[in-house]
């Protein structure tokens, strides 16, 4: 396998609780904070938001690729990704996710078919398969 791109990000300080994240090219350079919903100060991004952003962008690319492979013209694409961090009774944290892509120019059946195909193409979906509970709710614009 040939590596075509490696993202490098450094995190310093307290990690998710007041740390700082910076990409080696400087395009990402931001503070981290525990969300208010988890008892933190909020006011900065958190790992779940960053993960949701990356997964959403990747999944839309996979949807567009699946459509192109099937010669389906999409008039628009958008996605909302909810990544939920749950603190279980056992004291362990787990993630779950809901991906809600909305596709223009297709019917509901085709949107669902493309979403299923994207799950097989998207590297984030592959990486989380059988590890993170995922719900995909495809819709049409």
Is pLDDT of 1 > 80?
no
pLDDT of residue 3: 81
The reported pLDDT for the residue numbered 87 is 87
Specify the pLDDT at position 138: 98
Cβ within 8 Å of residue 13, ≥6 positions away = 19, 20
pLDDT value for 125: 98
Instruction: Convert the pLDDT of each residue in 32-91 to its tens digit.
Output: 999 999 899 999 999 999 999 999 999 999 999 999 999 999 999 999 999 999 988 998
Q: What is the pTM of this model?
A: 0.93
DSSP state of 25: T
Task: Give Dmax (Cα) for the chain.
Answer: 48
Q: Which residue has the higher pLDDT, 1 or 88?
A: 88
Mean pLDDT, rounded, for 1-21? 92
Element (H or E) spanning 5, and its range?
Answer: none
pLDDT tens digits, one per residue of 89-128: 998 999 999 999 999 999 999 999 999 999 999 999 999 9
Paired sense of beta strands 9-12 and 20-23, if any? antiparallel
Domains annotated on the chain, with CATH: 1-45 (2.20.25.10), 47-140 (3.30.300.20)
């Amino acid at each position: 396998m040939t590596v075509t791109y490696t993202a490098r990000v450094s995190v310093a300080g307290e990690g998710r609780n007041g740390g700082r994240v910076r990409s080696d090219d400087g395009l990402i350079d931001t503070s981290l904070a525990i969300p208010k919903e988890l008892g933190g100060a909020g006011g900065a991004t958190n790992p779940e938001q960053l993960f949701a952003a990356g997964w959403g962008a990747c999944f839309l690319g996979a949807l567009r690729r699946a459509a192109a492979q099937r010669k389906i013209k999409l008039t628009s694409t958008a996605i909302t990704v909810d990544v939920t961090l749950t603190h279980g009774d056992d004291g362990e944290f787990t993630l779950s996710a809901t991906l809600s892509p909305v596709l223009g120019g297709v019917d509901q059946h085709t949107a669902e078919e493309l979403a299923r195909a994207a799950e097989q193409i998207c590297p984030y979906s592959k990486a989380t398969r059988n590890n993170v509970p995922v719900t995909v709710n495809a819709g049409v614009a």
